[in-house]
A and B are shown apart, each in its own frame.
Chain A
Amino acid sequence: MSKRLSGIITPIIAVLLGIIVGTIIMLVCGYNPISAYTALWNGAFGQVYYFGEVVRQVTPYILAGLAVAFAFRVGLFNIGVEGQFIVGWLASVWVGVSFDLPKIIHLPLAIIAAILAGALWAYIPGILKARLRVHEVIVTIMMNYIALHVSNYLIKNVMTNHKDRTGMIKDSASLRSDWLQSMTDYSRLHWGIIIAIVCCFIMWFLLERTTKGFELRAVGFNQDAAQYAGMNVNRNIILSMVISGAFAGLAGAMDGLGTFGYITVKNGFTGVGFDGIAIALLGGNSALGVFFAAILFGALKVGALNMPLEAGVPNELVDIIIALIVFFVASSYIIRVALNRFGKKDVK
C-alpha cells in the first residue's frame, strides 16, 4: 500500500473505529445509537443555522490545528496553542474596544495584534528551547496557565472595572457580516473562515514552496543534517514557534472579533488549543489534512449539542467519541500494521 494512500485511509479508519466503539458504549448505557447519530448529523447539517455554527466552530479549529501542525513539522510539540489562543483573543478585543478607526485600518490592526500576541507567547518557549535546551512542552504548558490568569486579571482590573466581561468591540473591528448571518438563519458565522482557508494555503506554501520552508522541514526531520548543511537550527526553532504562535493568536482573533466580539473571565481553558492537537494529529500535520479534520471536529462539537434534545443522549458522549478517535489516530501504528497485513494477503 502506498504511503499516501495509507496516510488517508488510516485517519478514516480511526474515525470509523471511534464511531463503532461509541456505538457500543451507547448500547451498553441503554441509548439508541441510531437516533443519537441521527441527532448528531441533524445538529450539524440539519438546518442552515446549524451549518453556519459548524463553520463558525471550524474556523478557530483550523487555525489551532495549523498552529500545532506547523510546530510539529519542525520537530516541536507546541502544547501552548491554548495559551497563545487566549492572548490572541485578548489582544484582538483590546484593540477592538480601545480604538476608533476606519474599518480598513481597525480590523487589520486588531488581527495583527492577535497575531503578534500569539507569536510573542510562543517566542518565549522557542528561545528557551533554542538557547538553553529547555523542553518546549514544559514551558508551553506553564505559559498556558500564565496566559489564562494574566488575561483574567487584565479583563477584571485593566480593561473593565471589576467586571467579568469586556464591552463589545467596535463595529469597525468586527469580522461579523449581516449577510452571512442572515443567510444562515442568524448563526454566528463570520468572515473568519476565509482567513482560516487562506492560512491553510499559506502554511502549505510556506513549508513546501519557499526556501525558508525547506530549512524548517530539514530541521524538523534531522537537526544534525540541517546543521551540517549550514542551516541555523536555533533560529529555525524560534521561527517555527513564532509562526505557530501566530496561527494560534489568529485563532483567538476569530473568537474575539467574530464569534463573540468580547472576552470574558474564564474559569478554565477553552479547549480550542487542545482540540488543535487532536486536529493536527488526525490531519497528519498537513494543511489539507488539518482542514478536513477541523471540519469533522467542528461538526462533532456543534452536532453534539443537539443530542440531548433530540435523542436524550448526553453530549458528553461526543467527547468520548472524540477521545476515542484521538486514541485510534494515536495508535494508528496498529491500524497501519493491520492494513499492511491485509495488503499483503491481496498480493498473495
Chain B
Amino acid sequence: MDYVIEMLNIRKEFGNFVANDNITLQIKKGEIHALLGENGAGKSTLMNVLFGLYQPEAGEIRVKGKPVKITDPNVANDLGIGMVHQHFMLVDVFTVTENIILGKEVTKGGRIDIKKAEEEVRRISEQYGLAVDPQAKIYDISVGMQQRVEILKTLYRGAEILIFDEPTAVLTPQEITELIQIMKTLIKEGKSIILITHKLKEIMEVADRCTVIRKGKGIGTVNVSETNPNKLARMMVGHDVVFSVEKKPAQPKQDCLVVKDLVVKDARGLTAVNGLDLTVRAGEIVGIAGIDGNGQSEFIEAITGLRKAESGSVRINGKEILNHKPRKIIESSVAHIPQDRHKHGLVLNFPIGENMVLENYYQEPYSKHGILNFKEIYKQAKRLIDEFDVRTPSEFALARALSGGNQQKAIIGREVDRNPDLLIAAQPTRGLDVGAIEFIHKRLIEQRDHGKAVLLVSFELDEIMSVSDRIAVIYEGKIVAVVDPTETDEQELGLLMAGSSRKEAGVDV
C-alpha cells in the first residue's frame, strides 16, 4: 500500500502530560483523511508534530516511504506539507497575490515581479476552481474567499498534502458546500487532504477514511463508507451520545428583554449594530443565528454594559439599562456566559473557588464590613463544583489548571446559580466536547423551564436549531428575520445569514 504520509507510533509529552500516546496515522495518496477527536484529544498536537512545530519524543514520520525529520515548518513546506489554518494568517491591507507570495517573493533585479506572481496565482486558482481575484484586497473579500487564499498559499508553495484545521468553523452552509467541492477538486488533481474536525456530518459527507483519537490515544482508522455517525461518536467519546436535545414546548410569558433600535460601534469606530430590534420573553430561548462578525459580539457587549452604545433602548423587565455600568446590569438580574471565557469569564490566576464569586464577592455572606469571608466563599464554590460537576483537583486549584470544558461548567454554574431573569449565553459550547455540550444545553433548557428568559448566540447552526424556541437571524447588525426552528431548515437560515431576504430564501413572509 502506498502512503504519502505515515506517522508511526508518535509520542509527544508536555511535562508529565502525554498529549500523543503511540498514535499512528497513515494517509493514502489522493484521499481525504479525517482526523476526529474531541477538543484536547491531541489532534492539534499531532498536526503540529507533522508541521514541525513540535518534536515528538518517540515515533517516526515517513513521507512517501522515506523516513524524515521535520525540524521546523520550512522543512514541512519543502516536503510538500501545507497547513490551512483555522485562524487565517493574512495581511488585511495586502492584495491576494501579495499575501500569497509573502515570504516567497518572485523578484526581478531586486524588485518584486508582481505581474508574474499574479499570473501564477491566477493559473493555480483556475486549475483548482478557486475563482479568486488575485488583485483583490483581503479586507474586501468574504471569509470564505479568505480561506481560499489560504488554500492557494499552500498550493503556491507546492503543497501535495494539505492539512485543513477545522475549516468549516467560520463558514456559512453555502460556503461549506463550496469548500467541499474544492476539496474534491484538489483530490482529483492528485493532492491528499487531512481534515481536522469534530463535526461528524462533514466527515460522512466528504472523507474517505477517518482516524479517531481520544485522550491522546489512537482509537482506530475506519472507512467512512462502512461506518455511521453514531459509531464515530462512540469511538470519539467512548460512550453512546444522544444527539437531539429533548425539550418540552416553550411556554413564553411576559417580555423580559426588549431591545429597540440599538446602534453600537465596534472598536474601529464602524457601526457594528445598526438599528437592532429584539424581544426575548420569560420562558423561552431565543437563538441568534449569524455569521461571525455581523455584530453579535458588539450587541452582547452593549446589553451587558461592556461597550458603550450610540443610541437605542434596552429594557429588562421594563427598566431601561442602556449604557448602565456592568454592575448595575448584573444587579438587574442579568447573567452572562461570555463568548471568551479566558478574556472575560475567569481570572485564570485566581483559584477556581474565588472565580465562583467573581460578581458577588462584595455581598454577604462572602464579604462583611469589607473583609472577605473565605469560609463562605469556598463553601459556595464547593457546592457549585459538586452541583455542576466541575472536575478540578480542588476548589483551591487555579482556574488556569482546569480544562476548557470544566472552566465553562464553572462559569455556567456561577451564572445560573445567581438565578437571573435573563441569561445571556454567547457561544456557550465553543470548543467543548460532546458530553459537555449536552450538559450545557440541558442547563439552558432547564432555565427556560423555570420561566427565565434565555438569549443564545452561536455560530453553530445545529445548536441554534436544536436549542432555540425562536431563531433571530442577524445580518450586518440587524435582525433580518425571526423564524420558528420547526418551520425552517439550514438552507433557509444559511441564505438569511448571508443577507437574502425571506422572499428570496423561498419563504413567505
Contacts and interface: CB of A to CB of B under 8 A. Distances in A.
Interface of A: 209-215, 217-218, 221-222, 224-232, 340, 344, 347
A230 B325 contact: yes
B350 A211 contact: no
A214 B358 CA distance: 9
Contacts of B330: 229-230
Given A211-B361, A214-B361, A218-B358, A226 B371 contact: no
For the complex of A and B, 9 pairs with smallest distance between CB atoms = A230-B327, A228-B344, A211-B367, A229-B358, A230-B326, A221-B349, A229-B359, A222-B347, A221-B347
A227 B306 contact: yes
Contacts of A228: 304, 306, 326, 336, 338, 344-345
Contacts of B328: 230
Contact of A211 (B15, B304, B371): B371
A282 to B, nearest CB: 20
Contact of B347 (A209, A218, A232): A218
Contacts of B345: 225, 228
A218 B350 contact: yes
A84 B134 CA distance: 59
Interface in B334-356: 336, 338, 343-350, 354
Given A228-B326, A230-B327, 16 more contacts: A210-B370, A214-B354, A214-B361, A215-B361, A222-B343, A222-B348, A224-B344, A225-B346, A225-B358, A227-B306, A228-B304, A228-B345, A229-B330, A230-B326, A231-B327, A340-B15
Contacts of B344: 224-225, 227-228
Contact of B343 (A210, A225, A231, A344): A225
Contact of A226 (B16, B347, B349, B354): B347
B388 interface: no
A221 B325 contact: no
B372 interface: yes
Contacts of B15: 340, 344
Contacts, number: 69
For A209, A211, A215, A218, which residue has the most chain B Cβ atoms within 10 angstroms?
A211
B348 A221 contact: yes
Contacts of B359: 229-230
A344 B16 CA distance: 9
Contacts of A218: 347, 350, 358
B128 interface: no
B41 to A, nearest CB: 25
A209 B371 contact: yes
22 contacts: A211-B371, A214-B372, A217-B350, A221-B347, A222-B347, A222-B349, A224-B343, A225-B347, A225-B358, A227-B306, A228-B326, A228-B336, A228-B338, A228-B344, A228-B345, A229-B326, A229-B330, A229-B358, A229-B359, A230-B326, A230-B331, A232-B325
A221 B350 contact: yes
Interface residues of B, number: 30
A229 B336 CA distance: 10
For B345, B346, B358, B367, which residue has the most chain A Cβ atoms within 10 angstroms?
B358
Contacts of B361: 211, 214-215
B372 A211 contact: yes
Contacts of B358: 218, 225, 229
Contacts of A232: 325, 327
B94 interface: no
B362 interface: yes
For A214, A231, A344, which residue has the most chain B Cβ atoms within 10 angstroms?
A214
A340 B304 CA distance: 43
Contacts of B325: 230, 232
B420 to A, nearest CB: 13
A339 to B, nearest CB: 13
Contacts of A225: 343-347, 358
Given A224-B344, A225-B343, A210 B371 contact: yes
A88 to B, nearest CB: 26
A321 B236 CA distance: 57
B45 to A, nearest CB: 19
Interface in B1-38: 15-16
Contacts of A229: 326, 330, 358-359
A210 B367 CA distance: 8
Contacts of B350: 217-218, 221
A225 B336 CA distance: 12
A22 to B, nearest CB: 34
A230 B345 CA distance: 12
A210 B327 contact: no
A156 to B, nearest CB: 44
Nearest to B368: A211
For B304, B326, B349, which residue has the most chain A Cβ atoms within 10 angstroms?
B326
B333 to A, nearest CB: 13
Contacts of B348: 221-222
A102 B362 CA distance: 41
A209 B354 CA distance: 12
Contacts of B347: 217-218, 221-222, 225-226
A60 B13 CA distance: 48
Given A224-B343, A225-B343, A344-B15, A212 B370 contact: yes
B20 to A, nearest CB: 18
Contacts of B349: 221-222
A63 B419 CA distance: 45
A218 B371 CA distance: 16
A218 B347 CA distance: 7
A317 to B, nearest CB: 39
A59 to B, nearest CB: 28
Contacts of B371: 209-211
Contact of B326 (A211, A215, A227, A347): A227
A226 B330 CA distance: 13
A120 to B, nearest CB: 24
B326 A210 contact: no
A77 to B, nearest CB: 18
Contacts of B327: 230-232
A257 B498 CA distance: 73
A226 B338 CA distance: 13
A214 B346 CA distance: 14
